Every structure is written in structure tokens, then in C-alpha cells.
Amino acid sequence: MKINPSININNFISKIVLLLIITTIVNTNSFGQKSYSLFEMVETAKISSVEAQKARNRYQNQYWNYRVYKSDLKPQVGFDATLPNFSRDIRLVPQGDGNNDFQYISQMTTQGNLSVTQNTPLGGQIFMSSKLQRFDNLITNELYYNANPAIIGYQQSILGFNKYKWDKKISPLRYEEAERAYQENMEMVAFQVSNFFFDLLIAQISYNIADINKANNDTLYKISEGRFRLGKIAENELLQMRLSVMNAQNDMKMAELSLLTSQLNLKRFVGLDDNNMKLIEPQSVPFFKIDEKVAIEMANKKRSDVLRFDRKQLEGERDLAKAKGESGFQAELFATYGLTQTGSDISSAYKNPQNQQGVSFGIDIPILDWGKTKARVQSAKSNKELIDNTIEQDKQNFEQEIFIQTRSYEMLRQQLELSKVADTVAIRRYDIARKRYLLGKIGITDLNIALADKDRAKKSYLMSLKSFWSAYFRLRLLTMYDFEKGIEIEYDLPY
């Protein structure tokens, strides 16, 4: 009985292809892997990532700074005391006749002071206090008390820099900016983790492709060896097939390194301790229309940059006012009114208190400073102009960035659809080319071209997928608006 060699070869090829499919299925369904979708990874990163924690820390820092500012607006109650102040020394003591004499002293003073202070919108400070002092002369064993039951006073800088006025304008703005910045930072985490997610997803798929290509090339090389022995192909084609095997092995090693690096980057960013994670490729993409006017309107309403522009301008005006207020004529008013009395015991120190008043008005006028005052003011003016020009440019870039992002999002979605179709076509073309090669109808060169086109189309699709989702999260970040659901993006504040 005569055996047809081509029939045996075809049977052998069919068995090899079936074994290859089974091996691929087993390899791509590893046991013990936990699967993560894109949004599962995003939510995990918002909870456990270092960047999310840093966002919370930055907000908390601004929160407590704002609490300090709010506390400064309220009355401050304090108590200070000296318990006691002991002294034994020889000192120069004024005498009743106007002369001075060195005398040996041994004394102890003790005092306590309860005070209430309140800052005023004019930049001054009103205060009230109650004070009690005790004096012990340890040489004569004499004891005296001095009481100030009530003292009220006011302190005011005239024509000077009013710090409280500017704090009232800037501090609430800075706190609201911090609230918005926290929202943006959390959305920034989503944007960043999406890039790491697709880096690893591309690495995993590329590794699987490299693994399959290596197995396919090994199988085709064995078939080519059989064909060579039967004289159906030339040695040049066999050597080319062997080169394809070696290239596939090299691609496999490179894909393995890329997979390891991408996995470590994603684990480090998200804060996961999973060495065997598997990412799920998004099978559908959101489809929605973007109104550019709505995008800009929401960005102006939600973005911290808008408040940052206003804050920077106010800070420039404040610094200019400070330079003017601290460089010219200075005047300080200080006035007190209260009651005072002395006695040998505490009760007598509070009987029939006497009036106590005090007023002081001081001025400071620079006469010759060699241009220092003018230089300070001009420097502050120049800095304010620089801030204004920078902010104006930032405002233009702000709206331009949103405009470009809204346009690019739609283009990237269309590009993704086209690259997905191209990927499907390239896979189909390679399958046909491989079958035709197994049947001996095309050469190894045509098969390698089909393989290269398939891998290139897959990589192009994966990069389009990454670009689309990166644009999706960046659009959310720039507008702080969810166009898919039609709602503003809000996160619960840490406080």
C-alpha cells in the first residue's frame, strides 16, 4: 500500500495546531490570579495609594491653617504668671534726695495676669486684663500687694500695613482653593493609575502574544524541518524560519522584562501587594457628546486654578500695600485705662482702687534712606505686574487646554474604533496566512509579514485604548465634570 506523504504531514499539522490551542488556553488562564478591571483599580488607588494619602495630607494642612485664621478672629484668653522671681544682690538704688546708693537687697516678686485680646478689622488690637503682684522684702520681712482689677487698652498702627484686612480676603479663598485642589488631586490619582493600568495591560497582552508567537514559531520550525527533509522547501527558508524562532525568543524575554517593570510600577503606585494580578481589558467605551461651553463653565466653577488666579492677584496687591505701609511714615497709638491699688494684704489691694491711664503716640519718619523705600515699592509693583501678566497667560492656557481636550476626546474615540477593526482584520489575515503556509501555498516571508502586521495592529489598538482612556480621565480632571452621567465630580472631604 502506497502512503501519501502529504496526508501524513497534514494530519501531523492538525495535531500540532490542536495541541498549540490547548496550550495557549491553559497558559492564559493561570490559577490563583485575581482579576482587576480599570475602575476597580482606580477605586483601589483612591483609597490605598500614596498619592491619595498625600492629597488628604495637603488638604488637612490647609484645613488646620484655616482653623488658625478663624481662631485669630475670636477673642483670645490667656493667663501668665511668675511664680516666683527671687533676687539676692547688691544693686544701685535711687535715694529720696536724688542720689544713688549701692545696697544689699533680698526680695521676691510673684505676679499673675489674666488677659483677653481681640483683633479688630482696622488692624489694631483691643485688650482687657486683670493683674495681681506680690512683693516680699526678705530683709525687712515687709509684704506688699499691687492689684490692677481691670485694665482696658487699645493699640493701633496708623497709616501702616493692615495684615488682618488682607488675611480676611485671602485666607477663605486659600481654603476654598484647597477644597477644590483635593477634589482635583483625587481625580488626578484616577488619571495616573489609568496610565499605569494600561501599561501593565499592554505588557500582559504583549507577553501573551510573544508566548503564542514563540510557540507558533517553534511548531512551524518543526514542520519546516519535516518539509526540508522531504525536499519541499529550500534550506534558505528553513534558516529563515529558525531566525524567526530566535527573534520570537528574544521578544519573549523583552516582553517578560516589560511585564515585570509595569507590574512593579502599578503595585507601587496603587499600594497593592499582589504579585499575580491580571487586568481585564475594557470591552466597551463610554459614548457621550461634549458641549464645549459646558466644559469651560464647569471648569470655571470647579477648578482650583480659577481661585488660584484670584488669590495670586490679591497676594500681589497685599505685598504692594505692605511695601508702601512699611516704607513710609509710621505712627503707633497706644492707650490704656484701668484701676490700681496697693496694700499689705490682698483685700486691701482691692479697696478703693485709683484711676490709671496711659496714652502714647509714636511716629517714625524716614529722612534719608538712600532710595531704599522707593526700591522696595518699585520691586513690589514690578512683581505685581509680573503676577498679573502670568495670570492672564495662564487664563488663556486654561481655556485652550479644555478646548483641545474636548476636541481630541472625540477623535481618539473614533481612532479607537478604527484600530479595533484593523486589529480584527490583521488577526484574521494572519490566521489565513498561517493555514496557507501549512498547506504550502505561501512562503515564510509572506507569513512573517502577516505576523508583523498582526502584532503591529494589536499594539496600535492597545495604544489607542490607552490614549482614549487617558483622555477620558483627563477630561474629567480638567472640567471636574462627569459627562457620561451628567453630574459634577465630588469627593467627601477628609474633615
Structural domains counted in the chain:
2
Other CB atoms closer than 10 Å to residue 486's CB: what's the count?
9
pLDDT of residue 8: 45
- Partnered with residue 81 across adjacent β-strands are 112
pTM score > 0.95 for this model?
no
Co-location of 108 and 245 in the same domain: no
Which CATH number do you get for residue 395? 1.20.1600.10
pLDDT of residue 84: 87
Q: Cα(282)–Cα(37) distance, rounded to whole angstroms?
A: 7
pLDDT of residue 481: 95
379 lies in some domain: no
Co-location of 100 and 150 in the same domain: yes
Co-location of 452 and 350 in the same domain: no
421 lies in some domain: yes
Co-location of 24 and 92 in the same domain: no
Question: What 3-state DSSP class applies to 112?
Answer: strand
Co-location of 297 and 216 in the same domain: yes
494 lies in some domain: no
Co-location of 452 and 473 in the same domain: yes
C-alpha cell at 247: 527573534
The helix or strand, by DSSP H or E, that contains position 376, with its residue range, turns out to be helix 372-438
Question: What 3-state DSSP class applies to 147?
Answer: strand
pLDDT of residue 32: 56
DSSP classification of residue 29: S
Co-location of 307 and 431 in the same domain: yes
Using alpha carbons, select from 372, 368, 359, 366 the residue that is nearest to residue 332.
359
For helices 235-270 and 444-479, what crossing angle results, to 10°?
A: 20
**pLDDT tens across 159-182, in order?**
788 888 999 999 999 999 999 999
The helix or strand, by DSSP H or E, that contains position 331, with its residue range, turns out to be strand 330-343
Contact predicate 302/479, CB 8 Å: yes
pLDDT string in tens for the chain (495-residue length): 333 444 344 444 444 443 443 344 334 444 456 889 999 999 999 999 999 999 999 999 999 999 999 998 899 999 999 988 999 998 888 887 778 888 888 999 999 999 999 988 888 899 999 999 999 988 888 899 999 999 999 998 887 888 889 999 999 999 999 999 999 999 999 999 999 999 999 999 999 888 988 888 888 888 888 888 888 878 888 888 889 889 889 989 999 999 999 999 999 999 888 777 889 999 888 888 888 999 999 999 999 999 999 999 999 999 998 888 877 778 888 999 999 999 888 888 889 888 888 888 887 777 877 888 888 889 989 999 999 999 999 999 999 999 999 999 989 999 999 999 999 999 999 899 988 888 878 887 888 888 889 888 998 999 999 999 999 999 999 999 999 999 999 999 987
Co-location of 18 and 128 in the same domain: no
Give the end-to-end CA distance of the chain in Å, rounded to a whole number: 89
Contact predicate 475/406, CB 8 Å: yes
CB neighbours of 418 closer than 8 A, spacing ≥ 6?
Answer: none
69 lies in some domain: no
112 lies in some domain: yes
Sign of CA dihedral 372, 375, 377, 380: negative
Co-location of 474 and 356 in the same domain: no
Sign of CA dihedral 452, 445, 442, 235: negative
**pLDDT tens across 15-65, in order?**
444 344 334 433 444 445 688 999 999 999 999 999 999 999 999 999 999
By residue range, what is the domain housing residue 339? 78-119+124-161+331-365
Co-location of 179 and 39 in the same domain: yes
pLDDT of residue 96: 74
Co-location of 186 and 152 in the same domain: no
What does the CA dihedral 286, 288, 294, 297 come to, rounded to 10 degrees? 10
257 lies in some domain: yes
Report CA-CA distances (Å) from 234 to 4, 13, 77, 224: 21, 19, 99, 10
